[in-house]
Structure 1
Amino acid sequence: MHDLLQIGGITDAMRDRLTPHFTIHKLSDGDYPGEAITHIATNGHDGVPADVMTACPNLKMISGYGVGYDAVDTDAAVERGILVTHTPDVLNAEVATTAVMLMLTSYRNFLADEAHARSGNWEANGNAPLSRSADNRRVGILGLGRIGQAIADKLAPFNPEIHYHTRTKRDVDYTYHDTLLGMAEAVEVLICITPGGPSTDKIVNADVMAALGPNGLLINVSRGSVVDEAAMVSALETGKLGYAALDVFEAEPKIPDALKSMTNVILLPHVGSATHETRAAMGDLVVDNLLEHIKTGKVLTPVPETAHLNT
């Protein structure tokens, strides 16, 4: 038996697969045998606190639930030879669907229209105001990785003009911009699907939002840290930015009160991948990585920073 530290929750199905191979200790219990811990199961939000990693000198592998892993210090993991995994691909389609739904909902004003119908205002006061078409829009994607490409694919029926900004140009038929500001000036919709971490912290700043403009729509399905939240609130209040549709926030689960009162903003509680099917697939991959490691010393989906350790 191996000793596994559980950070955050796991499903019953995950626990059933893990218990024949691991003695599971919960960080939330406050007392765990640090010297004995060889594996950690965590999630993208909680990651692994620095003091916990230090307290586990025999740690060999961290299995993450989610595609984001900026809450894990991968530099420290590499220095100690610790493999870190995440759950890419299995959530691509669902997060892409969420991004497309946010765009459609914002342009077509569906939330206000639904409230208009439900409240009785349609019968009492007549038709709701006209909305805007989501077709033929210029859409910029910040981060054209697996999920970014899935978003572009799912937008195709709406005949968008796709632009993208990444560190390196891709072999795709979309319009590439070597600066985020340049892309923001060229598009009507900016969809953020870039990883979090220091390199992208507040990369969508006041200048980018002003370039997107008073009719522009900012969609964030990546990490709250990617957008300067205070600057976004100010831009929305002053009309420098027209609309926002957000699934992630800087200090989750806290959402700025100012955003809650804005009718030009859509707010979701970080549910981009939150379907039964996708979450089950993510849980399976977390366990698959752990079981593969104790069997072969390798993992299935290492994060890029630790991929060279997977030998």
Structure 2
Amino acid sequence: MSRVYLTRPLPETVLTRARELFEDIEVREETAPLKIGQMRAALALYDGVLPTLGDMFSAEVFRDTENPRCKVLANFGVGYNHIDVAAAKAAGVIVTNTPGAVTDATADIAMTLILMSARRAGEGERLVRAGLWKGWHPTQMLGLHVTGKTVGIIGMGRIGQAIARRCHHGFGMDVVYFNRSQKSLDFPASRAETLLDLAAVADFVVVAVPGGTETHHMIGADLFSAMKRSAYFINIARGDVVKEVALIAALQVGRIAGAGLDVYEHEPKVPDALRVMENVTILPHLGTAALEVREAMGLMAVENLHAALSGAEPPNRVN
């Protein structure tokens, strides 16, 4: 009989399915990430664990852990940079994720941030809520027209392509992208040779790369310096892909027009400097926060967990 551990509360549909598949299931009711001692205990006490963002299964967690009872970490989410995959593999622990389920929802949030930033929606809502709106007039809160502009997408994977399709088909935007390899796409797009080439032509720079050591701090002052002063920076990837201090500096001196952020370098901490700037749209990591999407993610993670513990190959294994 497999004993499994879910590190966060999950939608009822997901819990029902988990109870159908596993006789011994424990659901942690706290929403904060696991501490290092809790993660080590989870490896020792459970056959499978369903962790998520913030549960930092680092090499330190696996240190001195030989032949743990846990055989699979079925991550809830497509990003798994919070798990040291190599250390898990060395300990004999399979790692899986939930690709596909998050694509459209995350792309939708990118579009939300593009539109909110360009049309000053957050600033406008704050004005109305504060009772300071004096009524419509021709030069009130003029923003940037999105239709027909150029979007530069850093990372042309599933999510990057979904964003590009929305921009091209929905708003008639030109698409430029930066990716390690040329992509065969079903929409018009040009590949920039460098990040700086992309930054120079884009009205909106959107980051859609996975997190991890390869992309840590790949966006810094050089990219912001290359951007148009009228351009907006959008991040729906991982917070630590961006050097947050460099972004703040660029915004403070007016080097770029504004930013739309769903993720932060030291999440959930959001620097005061970002919170007080009217030209920065900030969301609390809403990328996949739709019930149907979280249900799909959870069901996929549970099926990965079940396959691994049944001796089958998990559908979404990453190591």
> What whole-Å deviation, never above 9, does each CA across 1:210-253 have from its counterpart, x for those lacking one?
11132111000000001100011011001112211000001111
Under a length normalisation based on structure 1, what TM-score does the superposition of the two structures give? 0.89
Q: Secondary structure at the match of 2:285?
A: coil
For residues 69 and 22 of structure 1, what CA distance do their matches in structure 2 show? 27
Asked if the contact 2:48–2:309 (Cα under 8 Å) also holds between the matched residues in 1, the reply is no
Residue of structure 2 aligned with 1:68, choices 52, 59, 79: 79
Map of 2:31 onto structure 1: none
- Find the aligned partners of 1:254 and 1:10 in 2 and give their Cα distance: 23
Deviation at 1:34, TM superposition (A): 4.5
C-alpha separation in 2, matches of 1:5 and 1:146: 29
Q: Secondary structure at the match of 1:167?
A: coil
The 5 A counterparts of 1:116-195 are: 116-123=127-134, 126=137, 128-155=140-167, 156-172=169-185, 173-195=188-210
Q: TM-score, normalised by structure 2?
A: 0.87
Q: 2:221 aligns with which of 165, 190, 206?
A: 206
Residue 10 of structure 1 corresponds to which residue in structure 2?
A: 10
Rate the CA distance shift 1:242–1:290 in 2: closer, same or farther, 3 A. Answer: same
1:65-105 CA distance string (max 9 Å, x none): 01100011111223344321111111111110110111011
- Aligned with 1:231 (options 243, 246, 255): 246
1:157-178 alpha-carbon deviations (Å, 9 max, x no partner) = 2111101111111113311023
User: One-letter code of the match for 1:69?
Assistant: Y
C-alpha distance in 1 between matches for 2:295 and 2:306: 16
Q: Is the 8 A contact 2:201 2:228 kept in 1?
A: no
Q: What is the aligned counterpart of 2:273 among 258, 279, 301?
A: 258
Aligned with 2:95 (options 73, 79, 84): 84
Amino acid at match of 2:162: A
Name the amino acid aligned to 1:4: V
**Shift of the alpha carbon at 1:126?**
5.0
2:119 aligned partner: 108
Amino acid at match of 2:244: E
Indicate the larger mover: 14-23 or 167-176.
14-23
User: How many Å separate the matches in 2 of 1:191 and 1:32?
Assistant: 39
Q: In 2, Cα distance between the equivalents of 1:60 and 1:116?
A: 53
Amino acid corresponding to residue 230 of structure 1 in structure 2: V
Cα separation, 2, equivalents of 1:146 and 1:180? 19
**1:300 shift after superposition:** 1.4
- Residue ranges of structure 1 left out of the alignment (5+ in a row): 307-311
CA contact (8 A) 2:74 2:95 kept: yes
Equivalents in 2 of 1:67, 1:266: separation in Å?
24
CA contact 2:72–2:309 (8 Å) conserved in 1: no
For residues 159 and 34 of structure 1, do their structure 2 counterparts lie closer, same or farther at Cα, with a shift above 3 Å needed?
closer
Instruction: Provide the identity percentage.
Output: 32
Note the residue ranges of structure 2 that are not aligned, 5 or more in a row: 29-33
Give the superposition deviation at 1:51: 4.4
Distance (Å, rounded) in 2 between the aligned partners of 1:50 and 1:15: 29
* Distance change in 2, residues 1:34/1:45 (3 Å): closer
Q: Residue in 1 aligned with 2:313?
A: 298
Q: Is the 8 A contact 1:47 1:69 kept in 2?
A: no
Check conservation: 1:163, 1:174, Cα contact below 8 A: yes
For the residues of structure 2 that align with 1:41 and 1:60, how far apart are their CA atoms?
Answer: 11
Pairwise CA distance, 1:11? 3.9
CA distance in 1, matches of 2:180, 2:271: 31
> 1:184, CA displacement in angstroms?
1.0
Q: In structure 1, the residue corresponding to 2:51 is in which secondary structure?
A: strand
**Kindly tell me: are residues 263 and 7 of structure 1, through their superposed partners in 2, closer, same or farther at Cα, counting changes over 3 Å?**
same
Higher helix share: 1
Q: SS where residue 43 of structure 1 aligns?
A: coil
Q: CA deviation at 1:40?
A: 1.6
Match of 2:47, SS state, is: strand
Is the alpha carbon distance of 1:290 and 1:203 closer, same or farther for their aligned partners in structure 2, counting shifts above 3 Å? same
**Counterpart for residue 309 of structure 1:** none
Q: Map Cα deviations across residues 45-70 of structure 1 (whole Å, 9 max, x no partner).
A: 32424444344623321100011000
Query: How far apart, in 2, do the equivalents of 1:227 and 1:33 lie?
Result: 32
Q: What is the CA distance between 1:259 and its match in structure 2? A: 0.6
Q: CA RMSD in A?
A: 2.3
Shift, 1:193, TM fit: 0.8
Aligned amino acid, residue 158 of structure 1 = F
